[in-house]
């Protein structure tokens, strides 16, 4: 009988620990080396998938800038500073956001932030007040600010939304603390999100639909009578990545076969939700 014995899980664990110790005994060469060690830890069941994904997100946030995840100004839901409170209530009711950028004339000039709770509190007292009478100061940061620095600042000052400006001082977009956290933990569902419904495809009207990226491509084809199914991808998210040939960002738009796709929610690792418009 051979004296050879299969390696035990304990020896595998020791081998991995020794490798980490050896890695950190010298200066790390680059981020990819560290990620390789962490992925091997997952393979050896020392980390689970969610933990590895979160660590990768933290490391990526350290390398990213605000401009990488901001909502462009053309997509911001804004309110004019000279509007009476009762006139903007329908907009607030429709979008269900907790905060709205306040503009002076056009979107390039954000001068404050309107909180929905402030609006509701003042409506009961005086509907003729103007938005500028109750708006709060806007927290402003440059496009080049690192995400990890921004996250620390938002946690310190208690702001949930920041206005992003370009090199000329004009509004470029906005970022919420939720946007930053989603780069670490993935998509965060909001209680008001329309796509919370269990269905993969949500019809908004005859021409517009919200589609989860995890929708099987066969189900998409059956619903819309299309022929997108191939062996290259299994889901709508995979189809989008295939079309764009890179990891999509929030706000990206492309057209295929009289259909316009807009990425509504995405992080650095995957797409979560897209809006589909049927073109005439």
Element (H, E) at 196: none
Quote the pLDDT of residue 269. Answer: 67
Element (H, E) at 80: strand 79-80
Q: How far is CA 102 from CA 35, 78, 84, 88, 223, in A?
A: 42, 6, 13, 12, 40
CB 162 within 8 A of CB 150: yes
Quote the pLDDT of residue 15. Answer: 58
Quote the pLDDT of residue 266. Answer: 79
For domain 194-278, the CATH class is alpha beta
Quote the pLDDT of residue 271. Answer: 85
**What's the rounded Cα separation, in Å, for the pair 128 and 119?**
12
**What's the rounded Cα separation, in Å, for the pair 252 and 254?**
7
Quote the pLDDT of residue 277. Answer: 94
Stretches in the chain below the pLDDT threshold 50: 1-2, 5-7, 9, 23, 26, 191-192, 194-197
Task: Give residue-wise pLDDT tens across range 130-171.
Answer: 999 999 999 999 999 998 899 899 989 989 999 999 988 999
Tokens for 242, please give them: 């295939």
Average pLDDT in the chain? 82
**CATH superfamily ID and name for 68-185:** CBS-domain (3.10.580.10)
Quote the pLDDT of residue 83. Answer: 95
**What's the rounded Cα separation, in Å, for the pair 41 and 51?**
11
- In this prediction, what percent of the chain has a pLDDT beyond 90? 36
Tokens for 30, please give them: 């680059």
Quote the pLDDT of residue 196. Answer: 45
Structural domain boundaries in the chain: 12-64, 68-185, 194-278
| Bridge partner residues of 264 (DSSP) | none
Whether pTM > 0.75 for this model: the answer is: no
């Amino acid at each position: 009988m051979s004296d050879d014995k299969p390696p035990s899980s304990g020896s595998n664990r020791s081998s991995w620990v020794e490798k980490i110790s050896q890695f950190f005994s010298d200066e790390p060469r680059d981020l990819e080396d560290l990620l390789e060690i962490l992925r091997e830890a997952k393979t050896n069941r020392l980390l689970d998938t969610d933990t590895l994904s979160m660590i990768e997100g933290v490391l990526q946030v350290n390398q990213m800038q605000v401009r990488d995840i901001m909502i462009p100004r053309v997509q911001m839901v804004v309110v004019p500073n000279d509007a009476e409170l009762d006139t903007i209530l329908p907009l607030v009711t429709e979008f269900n956001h907790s905060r709205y950028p306040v503009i002076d004339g056009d979107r390039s000039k954000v001068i404050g932030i309107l909180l929905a709770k402030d609006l509701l509190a003042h409506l009961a007292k005086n509907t003729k007040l103007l938005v500028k009478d109750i708006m709060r100061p806007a927290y402003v940061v440059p496009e080049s600010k690192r995400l990890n620095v921004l996250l620390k600042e938002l946690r310190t000052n208690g702001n949930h939304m920041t206005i992003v400006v370009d090199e000329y001082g004009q509004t470029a977009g906005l970022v919420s603390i939720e946007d930053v956290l989603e780069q670490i933990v993935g998509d965060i569902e909001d209680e008001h999100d329309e796509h919370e419904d269990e269905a993969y495809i949500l019809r908004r009207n005859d021409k517009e639909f919200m589609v989860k990226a995890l929708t099987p491509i066969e189900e998409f084809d059956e619903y819309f009578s299309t022929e997108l199914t191939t062996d290259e991808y299994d889901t709508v998210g995979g189809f989008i990545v295939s079309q764009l040939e890179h990891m999509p960002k929030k706000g990206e738009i492309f057209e295929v076969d009289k259909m316009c796709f807009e990425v509504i929610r995405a992080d650095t690792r995957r797409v979560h939700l897209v809006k589909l418009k049927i073109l005439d």
